[in-house]
């Protein structure tokens, strides 16, 4: 058994920042990650970091843009904290040597991004995430923070007090991918989940293969609710054949979108008469698919993104990486021809329900980054707001877990007095694991059924038994089939345009996947680097997370931010200025709502959102 | 790569293009065809795999298919025990450097249509094989860590919101070196590293270059960095064979960076004489 004060699960931007902060606050800190840190998907972020650094800009404007971009479903204290802390955190990265792009006077460059009232996106070419990730890992190396890389966290060691608000997380159970050993990691101060997004629930995604919502699913099964999971961002410019991301920076620098008729449709068809290509991401993604659905798409599938007019010099200076991506993954030379693009799953606005200190309702359990929902992004995340979230809230979670006093949080978590139960929607099938047999405990588990004392050891034994079951079983279904079926259903039915009927179909498929998973087995008999076993675990997580996305999409019968519903194509502020929360109560998902907080230091009156 | 190509790189590119033309198969010829893969297999604890062998897989070709797509298909459809690292699928996580048809390349960035069949896929040479295409990366990470791979500048501008200044020229100077994704293709291709286990290797020296050339660090730390790379197993081991530069998937002019550090080290030493 390993023991530390703070255990950070995941080593992307949020995890590394949390670890540095916890270490600086004096905690014995360790990172446990299924990938070596530099492999994390933060490295694929391209565009930049929003921070009000310059004269003429201030945090109030950034907070206002964020609230408007969220379609008034972000919580004001979260958006304000982000906007207030982002400048200092961004400059901190510069002080750690991050190679930002520079102006003539040697200061860091900023550029316009969608939905921003000031060009405040601070960037390092079109590979900002790569540099952020590496710089932060360098700082982890400098401090000698312990990293357990290629250790896959399988479960949390949480007790099973009846009320999740009374539960406590004591550590994690992880397996060493290289040796196959399952071990316990005791966390005396706290466990911080920084496991990234659940993009692999969809089959056309910009997300890495490793983005499987592991933290989401583990926190959910331990009793922490997932919040606003229906809000999935589909990035308007992903390459059609692979889903590889083409940065919003292309449009920020002046790139133009054309349909098959060569029309600049953002203006010609009135999707965004003021901002055009730089409208918020949800607006542009819907516009592109509308063009395709109305017969004006190229090859009935995509539209064109043209940056040729920017000139070779500017492209090479600011967007060089885009040329490589277009060439390597689509065979297109962006200097001489327009690039094909279409919407691809990109980001989950929702996540594990936390407050602005990163705390879940479970004692000692934190989350930060894309896996968490503070909520900064509400119904739609602005481009350039993910990276500052990682560093601002990663740091806060790390400090709090290490014992620093950050003051009382204004945002509430968990099921409490302020929530309202969902009572209206009838579900097409039973969600969750209720009613399913659970051989080896494979399908259903909440917290570990045990007293706090010796709880971690018992959690380790439970996972060893699960591994034995999966590996000793000789036939059945393999995870890859289930995963492919799940991904297809989510992309077919819970995509940019959503209907009640489609979402119900998705829920039925998810139920089938869950039933098939009862019969899953791991064919690879080896304990050495058994990725078959790891992916089998991940697939279970994807099923649970996909189900919360579909459930949220079903109950929210309005159009807000990235969530569009055919039956009600209007934002419904009277009924829906509230977060969707789903908690796993012994395998039976419970849906409830919590009002959004639109008042912080400033007040954010919902307005018509036009760009 | 564009814009900042050195003469060496241009020559290499010409060479590569020549080779590619020789080997390239017209994509349209592959439509509806299967691709023949010969994949290295080894597992220390599974009977039949303890002796390394090659398995044949026949994968249906799709337009735009990469080596990574092909091995993922083989794994998901035929043999779930086929093991390799991969994550981002877009040449930034650096997980999937393999030895493909005799050259270190990222699986995700290498088009099947540009390769001769059967496509031989092996783990990176000169590194210990853990299983199938997975190699032990510990030695590579140790070498990276040995060059103190982190920014060291004690004196910072006053005020939390004041950044250090860096000229565009200096940022341009270090730009290519900052693109390294730690894939280890260069280390695997290097004859010197193969014969001298203590050699820092191209990636680690490039990392040292990234900081030594960054004007934000002061002269004292630059000297310290040069001392690290001019040790016995440092820059002087490089025999300018350009194999690292040849295989780097991010087109970093590694050999040039190593030579530049040699020159800097000489200049520094001359000062003392």
pLDDT tens by residue, A191-238: 999 999 999 999 999 999 999 999 999 999 999 999 999 999 999 999
Q: What is the pLDDT of residue B271?
A: 60
- Residues of chain B numbered 215-234 and touching chain A (CB < 8 Å): 216-217
Contact A467, A533 (CB under 8 A): yes
Average pLDDT value over all residues in chain A? 94
Give the C-alpha separation, A25 to A18, whole Å.
10
For the sheet containing A110-111, what is the strand order?
A49-50, A121-122, A110-111
> Across the interface, do B88 and A41 touch by the CB < 8 Å criterion?
yes
pLDDT tens by residue, B65-116: 999 999 999 999 999 999 999 999 999 999 999 999 999 999 999 999 999 9
Q: What is the DSSP string of B90-144?
A: SSSS---EEEETTEEEEGGG-BGGGS-SSEEEEPPTTS-EEETTEE--HHHHHHH
pLDDT reading at A480 higher than 90: yes
- Residues of chain A numbered 40-59 and touching chain B (CB < 8 Å): 40-41, 43-44, 53
The size of chain A, in residues, is 611
- Counting one residue from chain A and one from chain B, the pairs whose CB atoms sit within 8 A come to 165
> Across the interface, do B160 and A35 touch by the CB < 8 Å criterion?
no
Q: What is the pLDDT of residue A453?
A: 58
> Across the interface, do B90 and A478 touch by the CB < 8 Å criterion?
no
Q: What is the pLDDT of residue A442?
A: 35
Contact A353, A413 (CB under 8 A): yes
Give the C-alpha separation, A447 to B221, whole Å.
51
Q: Say whether residue B25 is in contact with chain A using an 8 A CB cutoff.
A: no
Domain boundaries, chain B: 17-135, 138-150+170-272
> Across the interface, do B181 and A130 touch by the CB < 8 Å criterion?
yes
Q: What is the pLDDT of residue B268?
A: 83
> Across the interface, do B137 and A134 touch by the CB < 8 Å criterion?
no
Q: What is the pLDDT of residue B13?
A: 54
The alpha-carbon radius of gyration of chain B (Å, integer) is: 21
Q: Write the residue in B63, B81, B84 that is nearest to A524 by C-beta.
A: B81
Contacts of A478 in chain B (CB under 8 A): 80
Question: CB-hemisphere CA count at 13 Å for B181?
Answer: 29
Percentage with pLDDT > 90 across chain A: 91
Q: Say whether residue A16 is in contact with chain B using an 8 A CB cutoff.
A: no
Question: CB-hemisphere CA count at 13 Å for B131?
Answer: 23
* A91, containing H or E segment: helix A76-95
pLDDT reading at A592 higher than 80: yes
> Across the interface, do A484 and B45 touch by the CB < 8 Å criterion?
no
* A136, containing H or E segment: helix A128-143
SS3 at position B84: coil
Contact A388, A128 (CB under 8 A): no
Question: Under 8 Å CB-to-CB from A589, ≥6 apart: which residues?
Answer: A431, A432, A547, A548, A551, A582, A583
Nearest by Cα to A223 from A163, A171, A172, A155: A163
Contact A478, B80 (CB under 8 A): yes
Contacts of A104 in chain B (CB under 8 A): 168
Contacts of B130 in chain A (CB under 8 A): 178, 528-529
ipTM beyond cut 0.90: yes
Q: Write the residue in A106, A210, A328 that is nearest to B165 by C-beta.
A: A106
- Tell me, yes or no, if A511 is annotated catalytic: no
CATH topology of domain B138-150+170-272: Fumarate Reductase Iron-sulfur Protein; Chain B, domain 2 (1.10.1060)
What's the sign of the alpha-carbon dihedral A374, A342, A207, B183?
negative
Q: What is the pLDDT of residue A187?
A: 96
pLDDT, average across residues B152-173: 92
For the purposes of burial, counting CB atoms within 10 Å of the CB of A507, is it exposed (0-12), middle (13-18) or buried (19 or more)? buried
pLDDT tens by residue, B174-230: 999 999 999 999 999 999 999 999 999 999 999 999 999 999 999 999 999 999 999
Confidence band, pLDDT 50/70/90 cuts, at residue B10? low
- State the SS3 of A293-319: HCCCCECCCEEEEECHHHCHHHHHHHC
CATH for A439-577? 1.20.58.100
pLDDT tens by residue, A116-169: 999 999 999 989 999 999 999 999 999 999 999 999 999 999 988 899 999 999
pLDDT, average across residues A246-268: 95
Q: What is the DSSP string of A432-500?
A: SSTT---GGG-S---S-SS-STTHHHHHHHHHHHHHHHHHH--SSB-HHHHHHHHHHHHHHHSSSEE-H
Q: Say whether residue A531 is in contact with chain B using an 8 A CB cutoff.
A: yes
> Across the interface, do B86 and A484 touch by the CB < 8 Å criterion?
no
Domain boundaries, chain A: 233-346, 439-577
Nearest by Cα to A344 from A450, A490, A126, A453: A490
For A16, A37, A156, the CA distances from A185, given in Å and listed in that order, are 18, 19, 10
Residue with tokens 């299924």: A34
Q: Euclidean distance between the first and final Cα of chain B, in Å?
A: 40
Q: Write the residue in B87, B132, B214 that is nearest to A41 by C-beta.
A: B87
pLDDT reading at B262 higher than 60: yes
Give the C-alpha separation, B260 to B268, whole Å.
12
Q: What is the pLDDT of residue B159?
A: 79
Assigned token pair, A288: 């592109």
pLDDT reading at B28 higher than 50: yes
pLDDT tens by residue, A76-92: 999 999 999 999 999 99
Q: Which stretch of A21-25, A278-282, A543-547, A579-583 has the lowest confidence by average pLDDT? A: A278-282
Question: Under 8 Å CB-to-CB from B37, ≥6 apart: which residues?
Answer: B56, B57, B58, B59, B70, B71, B74, B118, B119, B121
Could you check whether A233-346 and A439-577 share the same CATH topology?
A: no
pLDDT tens by residue, A555-565: 999 999 999 99
Q: Say whether residue A487 is in contact with chain B using an 8 A CB cutoff.
A: no
Q: What is the DSSP string of A257-290?
A: EE-TTS--HHHHTTS-TTTGGGS-HHHHHHHHHH
pLDDT reading at A314 higher than 80: yes
pLDDT reading at B16 higher than 70: no
Contact A313, A307 (CB under 8 A): no
The alpha-carbon radius of gyration of chain A (Å, integer) is: 23
Confidence band, pLDDT 50/70/90 cuts, at residue A440? very low
> Across the interface, do A95 and B75 touch by the CB < 8 Å criterion?
no
Q: What is the DSSP string of B194-258?
A: HH-TT---HHHHHHHHHHHT-TTS-HHHHHHHHHHHTSTTSGGG-----HHHHH-TT---HHHHH
CATH of B17-135, one of 3.10.20.30, 3.20.20.70, 1.10.220.10, 3.40.50.620: 3.10.20.30
pLDDT reading at A439 higher than 50: no
Assigned token pair, B205: 């020296």
Contact B93, B250 (CB under 8 A): no
Q: Write the residue in A97, A104, A526 that is nearest to B45 by C-beta.
A: A526
Catalytic residue among A281, A286, A318, A571: A281
> Across the interface, do A91 and B160 touch by the CB < 8 Å criterion?
yes
Strand partners, A578: A595
Give the C-alpha separation, A285 to A238, whole Å.
10
Longest dimension (CA), chain A: 68
CATH for A233-346? 3.90.700.10
């Amino acid at each position: 058994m390993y023991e530390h004060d703070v255990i950070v699960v995941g080593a992307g931007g949020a995890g590394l920042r949390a670890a540095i902060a916890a270490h600086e606050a004096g905690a014995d800190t360790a990172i446990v990650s299924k990938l070596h840190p530099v492999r994390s998907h933060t490295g694929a972020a391209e565009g930049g970091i929003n921070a009000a650094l310059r004269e003429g800009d201030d945090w109030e404007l950034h907070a206002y843009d964020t609230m408007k971009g969220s379609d008034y479903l972000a919580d004001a204290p979260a958006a304000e904290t982000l906007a207030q802390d982002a400048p200092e955190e961004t400059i901190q990265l510069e002080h750690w040597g991050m190679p930002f792009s520079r102006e003539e006077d040697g200061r860091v460059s900023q550029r316009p991004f969608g939905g921003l009232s000031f060009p405040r996106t601070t960037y390092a070419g079109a590979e900002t995430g790569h540099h952020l990730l590496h710089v932060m890992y360098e700082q982890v190396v400098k401090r000698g923070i312990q990293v357990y890389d290629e250790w896959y966290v399988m479960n949390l060691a949480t007790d099973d007090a009846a009320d999740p608000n009374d539960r406590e997380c004591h550590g994690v159970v992880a397996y060493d991918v290289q040796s196959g050993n399952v071990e316990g990691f005791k966390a005396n101060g706290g466990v911080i989940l920084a496991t990234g997004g659940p993009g692999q629930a969809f089959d056309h995604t910009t997300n890495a293969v490793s983005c499987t919502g592991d933290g989401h699913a583990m926190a959910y099964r331990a009793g922490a609710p997932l919040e606003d999971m229906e809000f999935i961002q589909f990035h308007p410019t992903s390459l059609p054949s692979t889903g590889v991301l083409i940065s919003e920076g292309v449009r920020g620098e002046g790139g133009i979108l054309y349909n098959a008729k060569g029309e600049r449709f953002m203006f010609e068809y009135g999707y965004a008469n003021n901002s055009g290509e730089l409208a918020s991401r949800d607006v542009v993604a819907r516009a592109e698919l509308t063009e395709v659905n109305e017969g004006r798409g190229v090859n009935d599938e995509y539209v064109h993104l043209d940056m040729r007019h920017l000139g070779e010099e500017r492209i090479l200076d600011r967007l060089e990486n885009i040329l490589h991506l277009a060439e390597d993954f689509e065979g297109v030379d962006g200097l001489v021809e327009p690039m094909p693009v279409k919407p691809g799953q990109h980001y989950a606005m929702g996540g594990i329900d936390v407050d602005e200190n990163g705390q879940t309702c479970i004692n000692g359990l934190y989350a930060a980054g894309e896996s968490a929902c503070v909520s900064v992004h509400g119904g739609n995340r602005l481009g350039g707001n993910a990276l500052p979230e990682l560093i601002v809230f990663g740091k806060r979670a790390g400090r709090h877990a290490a014992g620093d006093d950050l003051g009382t949080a204004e945002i509430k978590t968990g099921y409490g007095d302020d929530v309202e139960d969902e009572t209206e929607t009838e579900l097409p099938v039973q969600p969750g694991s209720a009613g399913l047999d659970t051989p080896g405990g494979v399908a259903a588990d909440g917290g570990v059924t045990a007293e706090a004392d010796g709880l971690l050891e018992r959690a380790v034994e439970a996972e060893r038994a699960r591994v034995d079951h999966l590996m000793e079983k000789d036939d059945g279904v393999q995870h890859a089939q289930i995963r492919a079926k799940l991904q297809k259903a989510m992309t077919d039915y819970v995509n940019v345009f959503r209907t009640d009927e489609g979402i119900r179909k998705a829920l039925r498929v998810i139920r089938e996947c869950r039933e098939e998973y009862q019969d899953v087995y791991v064919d690879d008999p080896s304990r050495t680097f058994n990725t078959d076993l790891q992916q089998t675990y991940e697939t279970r997580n994807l099923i649970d997370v996909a189900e919360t996305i579909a459930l949220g999409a079903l109950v929210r019968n309005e159009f807000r931010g990235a969530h569009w519903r055919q039956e009600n194509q209007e934002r419904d502020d009277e009924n829906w200025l509230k977060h969707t929360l789903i908690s796993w109560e012994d395998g039976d998902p419970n849906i409830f709502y919590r009002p959004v907080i639109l008042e912080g230091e400033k007040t954010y009156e919902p307005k018509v959102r036009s760009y | 790569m564009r814009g900042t190509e050195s003469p060496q790189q241009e020559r290499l590119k010409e060479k590569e293009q020549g080779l590619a033309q020789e080997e390239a198969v017209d994509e349209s010829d592959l439509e509806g065809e299967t691709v023949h893969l010969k994949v290295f297999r080894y597992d220390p604890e599974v009977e039949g795999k303890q002796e390394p062998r090659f398995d044949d897989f026949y994968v249906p070709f799709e337009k735009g298919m990469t080596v990574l797509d092909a091995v993922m298909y083989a794994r998901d459809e035929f043999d779930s025990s086929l093991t390799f690292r991969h994550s981002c699928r877009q040449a930034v996580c650096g997980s999937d450097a393999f030895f493909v048809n005799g050259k270190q390349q990222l699986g995700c960035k290498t088009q099947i249509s540009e390769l001769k069949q059967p496509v031989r896929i092996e783990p990176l040479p000169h590194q210990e094989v853990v299983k199938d295409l997975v190699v032990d990366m510990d030695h590579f990470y140790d070498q990276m860590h040995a060059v103190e791979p982190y920014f060291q500048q004690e004196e910072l501008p006053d005020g939390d919101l004041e950044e250090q200044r860096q000229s565009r020229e200096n940022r341009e100077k270090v730009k290519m070196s900052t693109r390294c994704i730690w894939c280890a293709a260069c280390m695997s291709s290097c004859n010197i590293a193969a014969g001298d286990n203590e050699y820092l290797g191209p990636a680690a020296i490039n990392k040292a270059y990234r900081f030594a050339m960054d004007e934000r660090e002061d002269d004292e730390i630059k000297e310290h960095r040069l001392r690290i790379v001019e040790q016995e197993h440092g820059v002087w081991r490089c025999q300018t064979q350009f194999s690292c530069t040849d295989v780097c998937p991010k087109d970093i002019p590694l050999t040039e960076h190593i030579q530049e550090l040699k020159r800097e080290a000489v200049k520094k030493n001359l000062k003392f004489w």
